[in-house]
Amino acid sequence: MDISSAIYAYEFANAAMTDANAAAYAAIVGFFALTVVGIIVGPYVYGFFVYRKKEAEKLEKRKTIQNLVIMKDIQGELEEEMRRALTNANLSQ
């Protein structure tokens, strides 16, 4: 067979991308783009939430310590008041 005598007809319809193919390619490219973004950005987002949770726990502990300090101050004042009351009761007898 002599290839030089063959005629190749170019038909645009055969080479053109159909709408279904374009949508499929767009979906595949979009999926890969989202996957890459998720792999790159995911650890940062996770780290942000872990950091935020630890900061909330730290703030909770700080509030608890402040409440304990206030309670100790109140207890000290009550003991001092009781001591004064007992001293006044002993002196008045």
Domain count, the chain: 1
For residue 25, the enclosing domain spans 3-92
As a residue count, the chain comes to 93
Q: What is the pLDDT of residue 31?
A: 97
Residues 6+ apart with CB under 8 A from 25: 17
This prediction has a pTM of: 0.52
Q: What is the pLDDT of residue 3?
A: 63
Tokens coding 92 = 């008045």
Per-residue pLDDT of the chain (93 residues; tens, 9 = 90+): 556 666 666 666 655 656 667 788 889 999 999 999 999 999 999 999 999 999 999 999 999 999 999 999 999 999 999 999 888 887 776
Q: What is the pLDDT of residue 23?
A: 81
Q: What is the pLDDT of residue 24?
A: 85
Q: Which helix (H) or strand (E) holds 69?
A: helix 19-92
